[in-house]
A and B are shown apart, each in its own frame.
Chain A
Amino acid sequence: MQYVAAKTADEAVALLVGQSGMARVLAGGTDLLVQLKSGMVEPDLVVDIKRIPGMKDITAEAGGFRIGAAVSGAELGEHAGVCAMWPGVVEGFNLIGSTQVQGRATMAGNLCNASPAGDAVPSLVAADATARVHGPNGARDVAILGIPAGPGRTTLAKGEIITSIFLPARPARASDAYLRFIPRTEMDIAVASAGVSLVLAADGTVESARVALGAVAPTVLLAEEAAKAITGTRLEEDALARMAAACAAICKPIDDKRGTVEFRTKTAGVLAKRAARIAYDRAGAKK
């Protein structure tokens, strides 16, 4: 195995393109090093992207924020602007692993690890965020939902890396929230999860909503019917019940050591309801 700390995105891309064997990108390393330890992957090349200028930056852009691919959970959690605008994105990302893992883990890494249960992803999907992808043919912006291809697989081509994630601007009276279910209070992989982003109208009804579910299908699901169920409502009980039912209807989970199909399906709806309430309260509290 060779280790290279790339100095530019182009150098990283060139290194990845030039490697005929297995290559892996190292950002926070909280998934990669576990895979190395277990022998699950034995890469010929590891390209560390943390020393590329801009990778650790959070910058205001077009009313939203661009977050470098190597920004850790701890760093994002300390950014007042992002926390105020996208609290659900931050809380989802900050749920990954321990404080120690937060010192290293990145959103882009969580996205590229492509676990159906990645905690950073549902909120990013609900936020309609985009990933900036650098590759041999230059840069392109891809909707978050377009990155995962299935458990452990992404749509990125050889040599492509994510260099940043963009969180768009928000109207007033908008917010988001993320909840997951785990058996303990920390240190577990989500058994089911839900990210909800809401924009409220002046009268307090939901003007638009995006609902995303994690750990209930091979990739994160955008629950469009669930969003419709609460649009135009003030999250009355019956609207939330319709939302939960719409969530359950699209779940295609598996039975495994972490949860059953039945449990995941039921819980996803419960979490979506609860996350919607939190997002609603947060949005309503904004001036």
Chain B
Amino acid sequence: MKTIHVSTTINGDPAEFICTPDETLLDVLRNRLGLTGAKEGCGTGDCGACSVTVNGRLVCSCLVLGAEAQDADISTIEGMADGDTLHPLQRAFIEHAALQCGICTPGILVAAKALLEKNPDPTDEELRYWLAGNLCRCTGYDKIIRAVQAAAAEMRGA
């Protein structure tokens, strides 16, 4: 299969890669660019572990072709902290024990950040529906909801 050359922006930095036409953005991030923070839990858009944003939209990177990333602006979990400084959501997840195994955590953080940018003061219900596509099997979601709300409150106050 003939490869395609793609120029894009990832976490604010220009990035170039080649991929086959059937390779997903998730495959490209993980296997070609070494960005393994996005996880493949299902490969069919049912678990959200591969969440990234493309041009500001929250998507499952397993449901995007690498070729579609041409000229796009992509953000992944690797770009969430500002250098050494964790994003308030990242800090809240640690402080509220909102992760157990941690495999869903990158996807949930990316998804929660996208929500708070759109809606800085979500209700629990809005938050639960927004995150319904991010499966977590460890926590029962309780501490995740609390952590996001704590981070949201902190961000509103800041």
Contact = CB atoms under 8 A, between A and B. Distances in A.
A4 B58 CA distance: 24
Contacts of A98: 45, 48, 60, 132-134
B59 A100 contact: yes
B37 to A, nearest CB: 16
B133 A99 contact: yes
A100 B4 contact: no
A103 B67 contact: no
A24 to B, nearest CB: 11
Ranked 5 nearest A-B pairs via Cβ = A98-B133, A186-B132, A3-B21, A103-B57, A103-B59
A100 B48 contact: yes
B4 A74 contact: no
B23 to A, nearest CB: 10
Interface string A88-114: 000000000111110110000000000
Contacts of A2: 2, 21
A257 interface: no
A3 B70 CA distance: 12
Interface string B57-72: 1111011110110100
A1 interface: yes
A3 B129 CA distance: 34
Chain A interface size band reads 20 to 34
Interface of A: 1-3, 5, 26, 29-30, 33-34, 36-38, 46, 48, 50, 72, 74, 97-101, 103-104, 185-187
Contacts of B132: 98-99, 185-187
Contact of A48 (B1, B2, B46, B68): B68
B129 to A, nearest CB: 6
A246 to B, nearest CB: 32
Contacts of B24: 33, 37
Nearest to A104: B59
A190 B98 CA distance: 31
Contacts of A29: 63-65, 68
Interface string B131-156: 11110000000000000000000000
B62 A33 contact: yes
A117 B54 CA distance: 28
Nearest to B133: A98
Contact of B65 (A26, A38, A74, A185): A26
A21 B43 CA distance: 26
